[in-house]
Amino acid sequence: MADIKFEIEKELGSISESGKGWTKELNLISWNGKDAKYDLRDWAPEHEKMGKGVTLTSDELKALKELLNKLDF
């Protein structure tokens, strides 16, 4: 598997934490030196490991926000 490099440019917030201390976070991350994108995924404490997640451009995040605002909870 290829070596994936990442830099968390800005930690935006955590939305949950598991019993093992992993947190589901929204961050602004640069992957392999490219422009930073919004990223939602699980992280181990100290960001030493990561789970699967989803990466969104600014436009995709705005579209997701509009969809979420339409939901009636």
- 8-18 confidence digits (pLDDT tens): 999 999 999 99
What percent of the chain has a predicted confidence (pLDDT) above 70? 99
Give the residue among 37, 39, 40, 41 at the shortest CA–CA distance from 57: 37
- 42-53 confidence digits (pLDDT tens): 999 999 999 999
CA 69 to the chain's CA centroid: 19
Q: Binning pLDDT at 50, 70 and 90, where does residue 68 land?
A: very high
Domains located in the chain, CATH noted: 6-70 (2.30.31.70)
- 24-39 confidence digits (pLDDT tens): 999 999 999 999 999 9
